[in-house]
Structure 1
């Protein structure tokens, strides 16, 4: 989706990258991947409008949540309705799994912090926080 040069406020690539704490090459890479299509001025310089800024925010939030750029591309593509739902369904399941792992990890860290045992790994309370791993539960593998 191309930004219109008539957008309320157009920003240079440097200003746009700085707004998000990014290097300019990141925005160029995302453009190469088809995630961004900034307008161009007469000298072919990129001009980022409000819609581009929203897309950048979506990309950043999605990446922070563990989505790949390929998944983000589907998320932002108007022509992938059914595929978008499948990608999002998979992503939500992954988020749920990671949140469960984070809750277990937090419980382990809290117990370790509060544990008065000299060797916390011998503490029965601490061991209970890792019982699922000790029992041989399948270890989650991060998606590639």
Structure 2
């Protein structure tokens, strides 16, 4: 017979699921990002909602968000849109810079010149660094 209580996992189980060290989860808890239930012995027990929150934190960190910003995303609905608009614009800027860098690398990879800096096409791509049009 199945229990009506939701299934919960240990800190080691949730850490393993996401490839994290357990101290990372403890740190996020100390930062107010996670609040797992505790069993009668005081051990952390993570539900599926906690796993979802871990996934949100990881994805937000991959996007370059700080833990403070992630806390706003998760726990401060009144400030969420304002903060996330600014973060989205910053991410767009980083993506545009990364795309320019990738164009430069791809140009260098495809260049047959001994000294890539003497290549006219490479210099054109490099000149984009000073241009706001690209």
TM-score, with structure 2 as normaliser: 0.91
Contact in 2 for aligned 1:65/1:95 (Cα 8 Å): yes
Conserved 8 A contact 1:7-1:50: no
Q: Distance in 2 between matches of 1:131 and 1:94?
A: 23
The residue number in structure 1 matching 2:69 is 71
1:136 Cα deviation from its structure 2 partner: 8.1
How many angstroms does 1:86 deviate by?
Answer: 1.2
What is the correspondence of 1:1-40 to structure 2 with a 5 Å cutoff? 8-40=6-38
Find out whether 1:56 has 2:61 as its counterpart: no
Q: Is the 8 A contact 1:13 1:46 kept in 2?
A: yes
- Output the CA distance in 1 between the equivalents of 2:53 and 2:72: 13
SS at match of 1:36: coil
Greater helix fraction, Structure 1 or Structure 2: 2
Q: TM-score, normalised by structure 1?
A: 0.85
Gaps of 5+ in 2: none
Match of 1:95 in 2: 91
List gaps (5 residues or longer) in structure 1.
1-5, 138-144
